Amino acid sequence: MATLQAVTDKIMDPVVALVLLAIIVGMAACIVFLEKGERKIPVQYTRRIVGQRMYQGQSTYIPFKINTAGVMPVIFSNAVLNVPIFLAAILSSYIPAFQWLAESLKPTGLVFNVIDFFLIVFFTFFYTALVFNPDELADNIKKSGGFIPGIRPGKKTAEFFNYLLTRLGLIGALYLGFLAIAPNMVYAVLPIPFYLSTLSGTGLLIMVGVALELAAQVESYLIEHRYEGFLTSGRMRGRGAR
């Protein structure tokens, strides 16, 4: 509404507004595509006997998302950057030499965006290493009688998980980094007279994530509802009910 009002009041060029709308739609589409993207690792479980029961072998998979860290790296990066920004703003009022640093650490400054990008990449790998333990995951699969086809259980499986998390983590880190600095680059290039909360990369990521989670819950509810209805209508009646 603010953008439409700005175009109506001739504060913003209509071409800039259309370009801005295309950028927001494109960012939302990229977020949906990458948030739903995952690598499915097949796991085969052998036949085993527990007590007096025998469990047949089954096949399942372990999903690894591209963005395994969510918005936590962006939050950590902003928390770290707020300290030098605050100090530079205070020192620049007393020491003129810090004026350049204060100007460079603005959200549209080059230094700020470069540091922010590399901090997000670092914290993405850091958070992924805290959440996922390849050795523990490989050990649990081995204890359950499972294995990944073509890979030996144990150490080789842990090395495979570590290799996979590194590759996916790099893609997710670059994705989060560009998503975080993209709004600042847009503000530096396009003449936008006011701040748009919908252009925030982190805000878009949170909104799209909530929308995807809500859609998944609604879909699972509908599937469950139809499944129950199918069972109710499809039950065989007894002979006495005929």
Query: What does the pLDDT read at residue 9?
Result: 63
Query: What does the pLDDT read at residue 238?
Result: 45
pLDDT at residue 191 is higher than 50: yes
Q: What is the pTM of this model?
A: 0.74
Share of the chain above pLDDT 70, in %: 78
Q: What is the mean pLDDT of residues 109-122?
A: 86
Cα(17)–Cα(13) distance, integer angstroms: 6
Residue pLDDT, tens place only, 45-91: 776 655 566 556 677 888 888 888 888 888 888 888 888 888 888 88
Query: What does the pLDDT read at residue 7?
Result: 60
Band (242; pLDDT cuts 50, 70, 90) = very low
CB neighbours of residue 242 within 10 Å = 5
